[in-house]
C-alpha cells in the first residue's frame, strides 16, 4: 500500500475583495514547519467554483500533510491558535470546512519527472468519490492497478495521493479523495482529453462510484510549506 500519512483538507469560501488579505494571512502558517511530525502543506484557488449561497465567493483549498494524528493534535494544542490569532485570517473568509484523510496509496510521478517532494507543481487535481456498497475493494484495486500506473505515464504528472476520508460512519468509509499534481495547465488538459476517458472505462468507474465531484486548484507558491 503506502507509508501511512494523515491529510487535513481545509476548504474556505472567500469573497473576491478578501482574496488578497486571505492569501497574505495564509503565509503566516509557515510557522507550522516548526512542528514535530509536520510533512508539508500546499494550497490555492479552485478553478470555476462557486458556492450556491454565495455565488461570487472564491474557494480556497489547502492540503496539509502530517505523519500521524498525534503530531497534528500536538500542533493544534500548542501552536495553532497562536498562528491563527497573529494572522488575523478569521476576518478574511465566510466559512470553512475541514476533513481528515488517511493515505492509502502513493501515486507515482511521470517517469523521469520530479515528484512533488522538492518540486513546485502549478495545479492540484481533486476527485472526491463516494463508492457504492460492496464496491470498495474493487475501487481500491482499480486505483492501484489501473489509475496509478497509467497516470504515471501522463506528461507533466508530478505524483499524488489516494486518500480515504476518516470518519465514524459508513458513508465516510466509502468516501475517497484522489489528489494529483501537475506541471502546468496544458499537461493537465492533455491528460483529461487523451487519458481520462479510456481509464474510466478500464477502471469500470460506473460500477463503483455513486457520486463524484472535484475540480482543479491553481496552487499559490507563497502558501507552500
Taking only the tens of pLDDT, the chain with its 225 residues reads: 567 899 999 999 999 999 999 999 999 999 999 999 999 999 999 998 655 666 668 999 999 999 999 999 999 999 999 999 999 999 999 999 999 999 999 999 986 555 544 568 999 999 999 999 999 999 999 999 999 999 999 999 999 999 999 976 655 689 999 999 999 999 999 999 999 999 999 999 999 999 999 899 999 999 999
Say how far apart CA 155 and CA 132 lie, in whole Å. Answer: 31
Q: For residue 106, what pLDDT is reported?
A: 96
Which position has the grid cell 500536538? 74
* DSSP result, 62-126: EEEEES-HHHHHHHIIIIIHHHHHHHTGGGS-SEEEEEEEEEEEEEPPPTTS--SSS---SEEEE
Q: What is the pTM of this model?
A: 0.91
Identify the burial level of 72 via C-beta atoms within 10 angstroms of its C-beta, where 0-12 means exposed, 13-18 middle and 19 or more buried: buried
Grid cell of 40 as nine digits: 508539508
- What tens digit of pLDDT does each residue of 105-164 get? 999 998 655 554 456 899 999 999 999 999 999 999 999 999 999 999 999 999 999 999
Q: Which CATH architecture has domain 6-223?
A: 2-Layer Sandwich (3.30)
Residue ranges in 148-214 assigned as alpha helix (H): 148-151, 170-173, 185-194, 196-202, 205-208
Q: What is the mean pLDDT of the chain?
A: 92
Instruction: Please state whether beta strands 95-107 and 157-165 pair in parallel, antiparallel, or not at all (unpaired).
Output: antiparallel
Residue-range domain boundaries for the chain: 6-223
Amino acid at each position: 500500500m503506502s507509508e501511512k500519512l494523515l491529510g487535513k483538507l481545509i476548504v474556505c469560501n472567500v469573497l473576491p475583495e478578501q482574496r488578497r488579505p486571505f492569501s497574505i494571512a495564509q503565509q503566516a502558517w509557515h510557522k507550522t514547519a516548526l512542528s514535530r511530525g509536520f510533512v508539508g502543506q500546499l494550497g490555492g484557488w479552485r478553478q470555476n467554483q462557486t458556492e450556491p449561497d454565495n455565488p461570487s465567493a472564491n474557494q480556497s483549498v489547502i492540503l496539509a500533510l502530517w505523519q500521524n494524528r498525534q503530531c497534528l493534535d500536538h500542533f493544534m494544542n500548542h501552536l495553532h491558535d497562536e498562528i491563527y490569532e497573529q494572522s488575523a485570517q478569521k476576518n478574511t473568509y465566510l466559512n470553512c470546512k475541514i476533513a481528515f484523510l488517511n493515505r492509502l496509496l502513493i501515486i507515482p510521478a511521470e517517469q523521469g519527472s520530479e515528484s512533488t517532494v522538492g518540486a513546485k507543481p502549478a495545479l492540484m487535481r481533486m476527485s472526491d468519490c463516494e463508492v457504492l456498497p460492496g464496491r470498495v475493494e474493487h475501487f481500491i484495486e482499480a486505483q492501484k492497478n489501473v489509475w496509478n500506473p497509467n497516470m504515471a505515464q501522463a506528461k507533466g504528472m508530478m505524483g499524488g495521493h489516494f486518500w480515504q476520508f476518516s470518519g465514524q460512519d459508513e458513508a465516510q468509509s466509502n468516501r475517497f479523495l484522489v489528489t494529483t499534481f501537475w506541471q502546468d495547465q496544458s499537461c493537465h488538459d492533455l491528460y483529461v482529453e487523451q487519458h481520462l476517458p479510456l481509464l474510466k472505462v478500464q477502471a469500470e468507474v460506473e460500477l463503483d462510484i455513486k457520486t463524484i465531484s472535484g475540480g482543479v486548484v491553481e496552487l499559490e507558491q507563497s502558501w507552500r510549506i
